[in-house]
């Protein structure tokens, strides 16, 4: 294995210590930045404390106080974010966690403010949308938050889990299939990580056991004919020593303590990372990567892993070039390199991805109809390349 630069090693250790739902990245010098991607939109906070938003706004998910699908100048450029809620002090935002078409501001005191689509009760009301961040009441202070395609999970500081929102496949985990506007406490203890997927949920406990609930159409939770599980069941991962968990639309992936990536579930566009002729992969298989991974980002049907040499690799759905491997219109792709070096963060949305280099440069690839790439255009991009933004890391 190649030797890591000291800076890269420090970043790698930080990333491995973070829960899978974190979008805040702490730098060795004490500063931090945030990069949070939803389905077709993004928020960023640079190290100087400046917030920007861009992309799709049809549900008000940019938090700008309107539903106009225009994110800035000429409707396509990232714009500075200025909250219209006087209760929110932007200097106190600890993290931003986004779902398919909604997001939460997580404050230092544990308060949550929600914005965007709430048709499934995701933001505390049964239907409609917010265009301005509104306080969302939770029973306990969060330790982690994860959002999926209409449902959310909250991990408390004492290792308990709450779920709410869309629940058609039991993904909330409270034993029913009715959407819920208030967090429900789940029968789990000693949980250290959570991940909300398309219509399923995952949780990792202190003993290294993986738990899951919700949609089981593609055997993510258990092989067999069970269509869904409305309460948590233990997922058989074959003894993998899990370091981090990720949930996609219809597949799951984990990073083990040796830096190996494992995946299983639906594999119609190679999102599991192997050739299976489109057949579902019912047990974790190792993804073929040349070096250990230090972080993993999964959304919908694509995956991105930063390796120990700071290169970025991707696999899965590539219908709009979102893998950044110089190919467009290829439905799926096996693991391949999309950035050669210096990557410290990679995040993915529905059909696009962004990454940040050590010098603060932001790069983007994929679908761009809503200007989610942040480059001032609405043209798709099949190469991971600079989008003209940076996060002031120097």
Quote the CA–CA distance of 35 and 72 in Å, as a whole number.
Answer: 18
How many CA within 13 A on the CB side of residue 93? 35
Quote the CA–CA distance of 282 and 222 in Å, as a whole number.
Answer: 8
- Enter the pTM of the model: 0.93
Quote the CA–CA distance of 136 and 295 in Å, as a whole number.
Answer: 30
In order of their start, the domains of the chain are: 6-32+142-390 (2.130.10.30), 33-137 (no CATH)
Identify the DSSP state of 169.
Answer: T
pLDDT in tens, the chain (394 residues): 323 333 333 333 333 333 445 689 998 899 999 999 999 999 999 999 999 999 999 999 999 999 988 655 556 789 999 999 999 999 999 999 999 999 999 999 999 999 999 999 999 987 899 999 999 999 999 999 999 999 999 999 999 999 999 999 999 999 999 999 999 999 999 999 999 999 999 999 999 999 999 999 999 999 988 999 999 999 999 999 999 999 999 999 999 999 999 999 999 999 999 999 999 999 999 999 999 999 999 999 999 999 999 999 999 999 999 999 998 778 899 999 999 999 999 999 999 999 999 999 999 999 999 999 999 999 999 999 999 999 877 6
Is the distance from CB of 362 to CB of 353 less than 8 angstroms?
no
Identify the DSSP state of 6.
Answer: H
Token match 């501001």: residue?
105
In what helix (H) or strand (E) does residue 194 lie, and over which residues does it extend? strand 191-196
Locate all alpha helices (DSSP H) within 1-44, ordered by sequence. 6-17
Identify the DSSP state of 388.
Answer: E
Say whether 171 sits in a helix, a strand or coil: coil
Quote the CA–CA distance of 364 and 367 in Å, as a whole number.
Answer: 10
- Residue 72 has what pLDDT? 54
DSSP secondary structure letters along 319-380 = TTSTT-BS--S-SEEEEEEEE-S-EEEEEE-SSEEEEEETTSEEEEEE--TT-TT-SS----
Token match 């040499």: residue?
309
Q: Phi/psi of residue 140, each to 5°? A: -140, 160
Quote the CA–CA distance of 305 and 225 in Å, as a whole number.
Answer: 32
Quote the CA–CA distance of 41 and 57 in Å, as a whole number.
Answer: 8
């Amino acid at each position: 294995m190649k030797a890591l630069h000291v800076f890269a090693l420090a970043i790698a250790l930080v990333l491995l210590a973070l829960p899978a739902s974190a979008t805040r990245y702490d730098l060795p010098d004490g500063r931090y930045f945030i990069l949070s991607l939803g389905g077709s939109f993004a928020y960023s906070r640079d190290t100087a404390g400046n917030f920007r938003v861009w992309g799709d706004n049809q549900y008000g998910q940019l938090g700008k106080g309107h539903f106009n699908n225009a994110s800035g100048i000429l409707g396509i450029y990232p714009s500075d974010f200025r909250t219209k809620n006087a209760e929110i002090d932007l200097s106190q935002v600890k993290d931003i966690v986004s779902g398919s078409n909604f997001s939460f501001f997580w404050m230092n005191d544990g308060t949550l403010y929600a914005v965007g689509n709430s048709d499934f009760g995701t933001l505390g009301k049964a239907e409609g949308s917010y265009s301005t961040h509104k306080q969302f009441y939770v029973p306990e202070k969060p330790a982690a938050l994860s959002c999926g395609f209409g449902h959310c999970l909250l991990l408390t500081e004492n290792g308990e889990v709450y779920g709410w929102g869309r629940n058609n496949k039991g993904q909330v985990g409270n034993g029913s299939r009715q959407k819920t506007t208030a967090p429900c406490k789940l029968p789990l203890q000693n949980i250290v990580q959570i991940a909300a997927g398309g219509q399923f949920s995952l949780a990792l406990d202190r003993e290294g056991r993986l738990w899951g609930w919700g949609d089981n159409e593609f055997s993510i939770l258990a092989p067999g004919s069970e269509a869904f599980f409305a309460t948590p069941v233990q997922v058989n991962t074959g003894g993998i020593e899990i370091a981090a968990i990720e949930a996609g639309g219809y597949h799951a992936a984990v990073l083990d303590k040796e830096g190996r990536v494992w995946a299983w579930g639906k594999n119609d566009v190679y999102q599991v990372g192997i050739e299976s002729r489109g057949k579902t992969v019912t047990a974790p298989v190792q993804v073929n990567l040349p070096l250990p991974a230090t972080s993993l980002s999964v959304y919908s049907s694509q995956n991105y892993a930063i390796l120990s040499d700071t290169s970025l690799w991707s696999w899965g759905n590539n219908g709009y070039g979102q893998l950044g491997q110089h190919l467009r219109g290829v439905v799926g792709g096996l693991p391949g390199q999309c950035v050669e070096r210096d990557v410290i963060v990679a995040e993915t949305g529905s059909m696009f991805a962004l990454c940040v280099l050590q010098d603060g440069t932001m790069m983007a690839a994929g679908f761009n109809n809503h200007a989610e790439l942040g480059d001032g255009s609405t043209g798709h991009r099949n190469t991971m390349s600079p989008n003209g933004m940076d996060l002031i890391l120097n």
